[in-house]
Amino acid sequence: MKLITDDNKIILYLNKMYIETLDFNDKEATEKYIKHLLTKLSNKYDIKFSGYYVVNLYVDMSYGVIVEAKKEELEYLDYFGNQIEMNTKVAYGSFLYEVSNIDSSVFNNFYVYKLKDRLFLRLKNNLSDIDMGRLVECSNIIYGKEADKIIKRAKLVR
């Protein structure tokens, strides 16, 4: 798990072991799980979560899920303590992994896109957890609308 906080926005990177039992079609269970995660993070770190959040879940079954939670400032609602309310939206798609260089021995597992001087990989085949960890370690994950734009504009190299 990786956590990035920025003013009113939280981004959580959760690999697939965190979501194995989660059914994204069950909105209540998904929201309950996200609230549970935020509560755990609040207890472990000095971060306060309360209020109303718009939560976008970007799901890639090979990697896991990226959770973007943006706090909405609503003047007419008063939240007590650490009460969390949210509206979740789920989007399925493939993540792209931006890399600076690539070893030709791994080409068989990826579609390779090139846009200007940047290289992007999209998984063709599932990778082992160790190989996925190596990929995530040396890349920048692109997801959502930005990934869709890159796929449309980039040249498919392989």
CA distances from 94 to 19, 60, 72, 75, 147 (A): 16, 5, 28, 37, 8
Share of the chain above pLDDT 90, in %: 41
**Whole-number Å distance between alpha carbons of 112 and 17:** 26
Answer yes or no: are the C-beta atoms of 34 and 69 closer than 8 Å.
yes
Which pLDDT does position 131 carry in this prediction?
84
* Residue-wise pLDDT tens digits, 27-47: 999 999 998 888 888 888 888
Q: How confident is the model at residue 149 (pLDDT cuts 50, 70, 90)?
A: very high
Measured distance CA(123)–CA(62) in Å, rounded: 8
CA–CA separation, 120 vs 118, rounded Å?
7
Beta bridge pairs of residue 9:
6, 70
CA 6 to chain centre: 15
Mean pLDDT of 138-144: 92
Compute CA 146 distance to the chain's CA centroid, rounded to the nearest angstrom.
13
pLDDT of 155 reads 94
Query: From start to end of 41-151, where are the E strands?
Result: 51-60, 64-72, 84-92, 96-99, 110-115, 118-123, 140-142
pLDDT of residue 81: 57
Cβ neighbourhood burial of 77 (10 Å; 0-12, 13-18, 19+):
exposed
| pLDDT band, residue 91 (cuts 50/70/90) | very high
